Amino acid sequence: MTSWVGRTAVEIAAAVREKRTTPREVVAEHLARIEALDGRVGAFRTVRAKAALAEADEVADRADLAELPLAGVPVAIKDNLAVRGESTRNGSAATSEAPAGEDHVTVARLRAAGAVVVGLTNVPELCVFGTTDGVHGTARNPWDTARTTGGSSGGSAAAVAAGLVPLALGNDGMGSLRIPAANCGVLGLKPGFGVVPADIGHGDWFGMSENGPLATTVEDARLMFGILADTAATDPPGSAPSGSAPPAPSIAVSVRSPLVGVTVTRAYADAARRAAELLAGAGLTVRRADPPYPLWLGTTSLAHWTAGTAMDAEGLDPRLLTRRTRVHAAVGRRFLKGVRAGDRREQLRRRMEPFFAEHDVLLTPALARRGPGAANWHERGWLRNLLVNTNYAPLTPPWNLTGRPAMSVPFGTLPSGAPCAVQLVGRPGRELELLSVAGRLEELNPWSRTAPLDRPDR
């Protein structure tokens, strides 16, 4: 009997369309893996076993089955996006248990494409921090379960890395897709502003937060991105006419931390340098160049990060929020007026324009150091959380502040054997160019797609 666990979304959908398997068979096999392994990973807040099987049967009966790009593909949804019939808890005891009346638009697009929602994934409270733990559970890195999966799309990244689903939906307001993707050795793409519908929390963290895919292959990420953006994932703007090779993008490589006083460890810096060497060896134009990060970037990032939480905490009972969330929101309320004005973000966008006029793509380390231990970070103090998050993930926030597309790509391994990763940043509207460069890296330095959780020695 053919096993569909560990197969790509593209492979599964093709098999379902061609009647070589059924959506029920595929979904049942993935539900069995979730039951067997998620107790060790903690990817899911809730698993929709009965509902998912019923929805799989509905997909099988669709008249357009032969045209569905995600026919029968199991997907997981981050628990800050509405799934019809399920509560949206956003990692908190302060949120409502009432079921959503309709799907978030991105969930609806996935379902229209034939995907089956098997569950909602764990997040830190209000999706604030870069570790995923809280009242609904702790998500662990499937490659090293003693360490966090990252956050805030931590459960979604863990679900993909553990082979519990081939695709998951997350979102990214300061790195929330890219951080867990980097920890877990999967691809995470944050689209640029306005490319995929957001509608996340109260105001999308002032337009900084974007929904995007988590996947194990560039082909799968490209497919899911096209569905979320409701557009054909074809060649990027400015590419060569059909039938001819597109021009190779020019790439700047930088291993400098955007934040003063925060350093990038050798393993992550070396990964970026090695990725640059491979791309240069493949004929791409690569040169060392650091973006003009301003000294005030750290305070601007903190202001927007906390102010977004202040907005999302409005109307919630503060007694039901963890202390670190209450403090984060209280700090953010002091910044709301300035953040709403948007002056610093506009300054940063203008400051970066000459750099990206000269370079098509920026290549950096994805993280500064490996993710911290899997622990009850939500029970620890705000300042401790702030320092841990800032020191391990300083490279992601600038691209939310400027609205540029960015993605995490697995590349090599850390000394512990866990995955390492690099980050790609591009021009507005050039998500497909980033996917193209990621595809080159996938060809030049393939990664292990699924953590070996089911091995006896794990």
Cite the active site residues: 78, 152, 176
Q: Can you tell me which residue has the tokens 């003063």?
A: 260
Reported in sequence order, the residue ranges of 139-180 that DSSP labels E, i.e. its strands, are 140-141, 144-148, 167-172
* DSSP string across 385-418: HHHHHHHH--SSHHHHHTT--EEEEEEEE-TTS-
Q: Residue 297 CB: number of other CB atoms within 10 A? A: 19
Kindly state the helix (H) or strand (E) to which residue 341 belongs, with its residue range. Answer: helix 336-341
How far apart CA 397 and CA 175 sit, in angstroms, is: 6
Q: Is the dihedral of CA 171, 33, 99, 306 positive or negative?
A: negative
The structure tokens listed for 9 are 């979304």
How far apart CA 180 and CA 416 sit, in angstroms, is: 17
How far apart CA 94 and CA 101 sit, in angstroms, is: 19
**Burial of 377 by CB count in 10 Å (0-12 exposed, 13-18 middle, 19+ buried)?**
buried
Q: Are 132 and 149 within 8 A, CB to CB?
A: yes
How far apart CA 127 and CA 180 sit, in angstroms, is: 12
Position 447: which residue type? W
Q: Is the dihedral of CA 419, 423, 424, 428 positive or negative?
A: positive
Query: Which string of b and e fits 101-125 if b means at least 16 CB within 10 Å?
Result: eebbbbbebbbebbbbbbbbbbbbb
Closest CA to 304 of 210, 387, 205, 201: 205
Percent of the chain that is helix, strand, coil (3-state, to 5): 40, 15, 45
| Region of 345 on the Ramachandran plot (φ > 0 left; ψ -120 to 50 alpha; else beta) | alpha
